[in-house]
């Protein structure tokens, strides 16, 4: 496979399926008594420009489960591209650790880190995409329905980085992807055009709507994210005026498939994009999905850092 895990678009459908199968295997192994120490002696440097709960804990625990170690590097310690040039940070770490996970604002920073290193770089989140989240999402869907192909996934809300990665993995693996979002909050046109050939190859239908009620019809999966992402705080008031019709509430869920599940990458702003009734209700898979970050990322770590 590849040296890095920066974007879903870089991986073939076969490679993505291999990662999902490996995640299922590692999760089962862990539940039956623990994972083998396949990353013994390996160290992952974790660079953070943004706060984190799931990303930090899942990578740190994932390395621990696989016999390795993880090193947390806070924004103040690194100052990526400010205190020290990205190329310099990359080349210093290149000689000390076995891999880098970076959670950044600017996707270009990830690309630059990868350019200057011989070790794997993993995208823990950027302003463009969130491939680790998408892998955990699709693992959750696979566990729930026993398949990925032809599953109707509907994303309701901002066409952001999470939506981009979810669309990419759905299109590559043959799930149908629908998004309903307000005017001026569309997904990047370039992302849509880049993924279309893969959707045609897999039989995935891509649908772009404004009306959330139309979007959730026949949906097996309803997905949402916060209306205002980190770095967009100055837009909060404007967004809170636009997005209320896109709230995932009991009424909207009732209009989907009776067996539909609800996903959210978290953190959730309860009472905004999702109600307590839904987040804590029978359709919710928010917490199994969060837990699957651990198992999906173990597959990525094993694939990139393991002695195979």
Q: How far apart are CA 264 and CA 60, in angstroms?
A: 22
Confirm whether 103 is a catalytic residue.
yes
Confirm whether 265 is a catalytic residue.
yes
Q: How far apart are CA 289 and CA 213, in angstroms?
A: 24
Closest listed residue to residue 170, CA positions, set 129, 130, 203: 203
Query: For the chain, first and last CA: distance in Å?
Result: 12
Q: Which residues contact 219 (CB under 8 A, 6 or more apart)?
A: 152, 153, 154, 178, 256, 257, 260
Q: Which of 54, 98, 109, 130 is catalytic?
A: 130
Burial class (CB in 10 A: 0-12, 13-18, 19+), 156: buried
Confirm whether 225 is a catalytic residue.
yes
CA distances from 82 to 13, 44, 76, 79, 111 (A): 37, 22, 10, 5, 17
Confirm whether 54 is a catalytic residue.
no
Confirm whether 65 is a catalytic residue.
no
Render 230-244 in DSSP notation, one character per residue. TT-GGGHHHHHHHSG
Largest Cα–Cα separation, the chain: 55
Q: Which of 133, 168, 247, 272 is catalytic?
A: 133
Confirm whether 293 is a catalytic residue.
yes
Peptide bond into 267 cis (omega under 30): yes
CA distances from 289 to 6, 28, 118, 269, 282 (A): 21, 16, 32, 17, 14
Contact 105, 75 (CB under 8 A): no
Q: Which of 225, 239, 283, 295 is catalytic?
A: 225
Q: Which of 265, 272, 285, 297 is catalytic?
A: 265
Q: Which of 54, 65, 98, 103 is catalytic?
A: 103
DSSP for residue 282 = T
Return the active site residues: 103, 130, 133, 225, 265, 293
């Amino acid at each position: 496979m590849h040296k890095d895990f920066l974007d879903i678009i870089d991986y073939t459908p076969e490679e993505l399926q291999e990662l999902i199968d490996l995640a299922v295997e590692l999760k089962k192994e862990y539940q039956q008594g623990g994972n083998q120490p396949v990353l013994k002696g390996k160290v992952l440097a974790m660079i953070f420009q943004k706060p984190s709960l799931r990303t930090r804990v899942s990578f740190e625990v994932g390395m621990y489960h696989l016999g390795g170690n993880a090193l947390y590097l806070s924004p103040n310690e690194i100052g990526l591209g400010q205190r020290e040039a990205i190329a310099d940070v990359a080349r210093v770490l290149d000689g000390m650790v076995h891999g880098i996970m970076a959670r950044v604002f600017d996707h270009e920073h990830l690309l630059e880190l990868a350019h200057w290193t011989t070790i794997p770089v993993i995208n823990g989140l950027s302003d463009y995409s969130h491939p680790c989240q998408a892998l955990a999402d699709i693992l959750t869907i696979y566990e729930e329905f026993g398949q990925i192909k032809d599953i109707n996934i509907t994303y309701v809300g901002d066409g952001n980085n999470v939506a981009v990665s979810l669309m990419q993995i759905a299109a590559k693996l043959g799930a149908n992807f629908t998004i309903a979002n307000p005017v001026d909050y569309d997904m990047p046109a370039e992302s849509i055009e880049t993924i279309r050939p893969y959707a045609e190859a897999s039989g995935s239908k891509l649908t772009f709507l404004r009306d959330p009620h139309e979007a959730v019809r026949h949906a097996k999966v309803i997905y949402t994210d916060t209306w205002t992402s980190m770095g967009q705080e100055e837009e909060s008031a404007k967004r809170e005026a636009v997005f209320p019709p896109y709230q995932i509430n009991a009424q909207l869920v009732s209009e989907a498939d009776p067996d539909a599940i609800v996903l959210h990458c978290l953190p959730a702003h309860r009472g905004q994009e999702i109600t307590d009734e839904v987040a804590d209700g029978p359709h919710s898979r928010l917490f199994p999905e969060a837990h699957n970050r651990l198992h999906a990322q173990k597959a990525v770590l094993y694939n990139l850092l393991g002695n195979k």
